[in-house]
């Protein structure tokens, strides 16, 4: 048998939940959406880097057009990875100052890898 606790405050039916909880839910939804966007940007940056590596491993890697495509793909890769890292740092509210050095490091490492592959 259920007894009614007199200290328990019951809300009448049809009462709206507190506004601050709706703001928290909306903020969580926006964070999840931004995180999905950042994952997509990081994946796209990886795909662009794989494309640049494919050109570097191809038979015509020394042609000027191939070098132009490799450079363009590395720039697009670095840009997309940078946007992804920036969004991750803003969503997580941690390490806000490290996304730019990490992006620069990504670009430098990608460029170094391509130089090694093209030179062989």
Residue pLDDT, tens place only, 91-101: 988 778 899 99
Residue 82 falls within a domain, yes or no? yes
Split into its structural domains, the chain has a count of 1
Q: Span 63-79, mean pLDDT? A: 94
Residue 16 falls within a domain, yes or no? no
Question: For residue 73, which of 50, 40, 43 has the smallest C-alpha distance?
Answer: 50
CB proximity list for 19: less than 8 A, separation 6 or greater: none
Q: Flag the least confident range among 38-47, 93-102, 103-112.
A: 93-102
Q: Span 59-85, mean pLDDT? A: 93
Residue 80 belongs to what domain range?
24-119
Residue 10 falls within a domain, yes or no? no
Residue 5 falls within a domain, yes or no? no
C-beta of residue 110 within 8 angstroms of C-beta of residue 78: yes
Residue 108 falls within a domain, yes or no? yes
């Amino acid at each position: 048998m259920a007894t009614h606790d007199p200290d328990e405050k019951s809300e009448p039916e049809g009462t709206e939940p507190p506004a601050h909880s709706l703001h928290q839910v909306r903020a969580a939804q926006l964070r999840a959406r931004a995180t999905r966007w950042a994952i997509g940007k990081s994946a796209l940056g990886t795909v662009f880097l794989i494309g640049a590596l494919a050109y570097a491993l191809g038979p015509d890697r020394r042609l000027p057009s191939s070098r132009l495509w490799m450079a363009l793909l590395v720039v697009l890769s670095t840009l997309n990875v940078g946007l992804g890292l920036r969004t991750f740092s803003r969503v997580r509210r941690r390490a806000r100052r490290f996304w730019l050095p990490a992006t620069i490091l990504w670009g430098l490492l990608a460029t170094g890898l391509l130089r090694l592959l093209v030179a062989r």
